[in-house]
């Protein structure tokens, strides 16, 4: 770890509950959500180490730790999107765009992106989005009604990637009777409970939560790396900006301004 900077890192030793790092005053540094952040070197439990093909560029391998892998995995492993199926994605941030990428790879014929930012349509096309809905342009029509009309009955697979209970409900209502599946990827930002119609559940719909897109890291991350090397998974387009560590606040500003998908932070720039 560069001595000039002091950051909370991912030292987690889950089997003994201890940490391998301390700050300048000798106080222990603990991890947050299992993430190693802004450090050149760290110590992790062997259970958290995944070996990938050495040909995989580190600058893109980092995308497989979360975000891109979560969205692709949700389409590929969690939903098991089928060729020719229809998909609706609520929220075209990094995870939502990754869902579109995963649905594209799986062969979905219709990928509908839902976002209040009109610029997301052109961006979404790069990831496989075929149609776009801006809820602000629908007037009195609810989003789920628009999706039902566009898919002639509802989407086969719906993904909520924002974190609002109301949108989770709308995604569920947008799914097709009989087999429609809704995958919840967003973390509800207000802690509100999800309320869905028991009547619609009886019509054969289902809703499922997702952790890391249903991926098993040791098994699936190497597969995703191989898909990139085989030019199936297009990771490069997720990187919209690159900054040095000294400009990290610029990276956060880009995120807050919704101008970046993924910003790579380099220690040595």
Residue 264 in domain: no
Residue 62 in domain: no
> What is the domain extent for residue 28?
1-49
Residue 56 in domain: no
Last residue of a domain, one of 164, 197, 214: 214
- Residue 91 shares a structural domain with residue 174: yes
- Residue 81 sits in a domain of what CATH number? 3.40.50.720
Quote the tokens at residue 103.
């649905």
pTM of the complete model: 0.88
| Average pLDDT across the chain, whole number | 88
pLDDT tens profile 146-169? 999 999 999 999 999 999 999 999
Distances (CA, A) of 13 to 22, 98, 217, 228: 14, 30, 17, 31
**Given this model, what pLDDT does residue 4 score?**
35
CB atoms within 10 A of CB 118: 11
- Residue 102 shares a structural domain with residue 186: yes
Quote the tokens at residue 164.
């609002």
User: How sure is the predictor about 44, in pLDDT bands with cuts at 50, 70 and 90?
Assistant: confident
Q: Which residues neighbour 123 within 8 Å (Cβ) at sequence distance 6 or greater?
A: 92, 97, 261
Cα distance between residue 9 and residue 44, in whole Å:
10
Positive or negative CA dihedral for 150, 111, 154, 132?
negative
Quote the tokens at residue 127.
């990831």
Residue 71 in domain: yes
User: How sure is the predictor about 31, in pLDDT bands with cuts at 50, 70 and 90?
Assistant: low
- Residue 23 shares a structural domain with residue 77: no
């Amino acid at each position: 770890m560069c001595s000039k900077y002091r950051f909370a890192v991912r030292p987690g030793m889950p089997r003994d509950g201890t940490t391998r790092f301390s700050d300048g005053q000798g106080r222990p540094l603990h991890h947050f959500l299992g993430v190693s952040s802004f450090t050149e070197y760290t110590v992790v439990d062997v259970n958290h180490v995944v070996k990938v093909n050495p040909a995989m560029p580190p600058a893109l391998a980092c995308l497989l730790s979360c975000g891109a892998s979560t969205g692709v995995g949700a389409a590929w492993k969690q939903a098991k999107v089928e060729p020719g199926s229809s998909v609706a994605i609520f929220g075209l941030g990094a995870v939502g765009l990754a869902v579109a990428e995963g649905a594209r790879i799986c062969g979905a014929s219709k990928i509908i992106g839902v976002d209040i930012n009109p610029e997301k349509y052109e961006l979404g096309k790069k990831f496989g989005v075929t149609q776009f809905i801006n809820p602000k342009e629908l007037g009195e029509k609810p989003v789920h009604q628009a999706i039902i009309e566009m898919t002639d009955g509802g989407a086969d697979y719906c993904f909520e990637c924002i974190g609002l209970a109301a949108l989770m409900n709308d995604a569920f209502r947008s799914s097709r009777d009989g087999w429609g599946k809704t995958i919840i990827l967003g973390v509800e930002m207000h802690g509100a409970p999800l309320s869905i119609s028991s009547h619609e559940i009886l019509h054969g719909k289902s809703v499922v939560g997702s952790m890391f897109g249903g991926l098993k890291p040791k098994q699936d991350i190497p597969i995703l790396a191989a898909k990139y090397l085989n030019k199936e998974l297009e990771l490069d387009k997720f990187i919209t900006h690159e900054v040095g560590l000294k400009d990290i606040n610029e990276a956060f500003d880009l995120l807050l301004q919704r101008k970046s998908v993924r910003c790579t932070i380099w220690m040595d720039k």
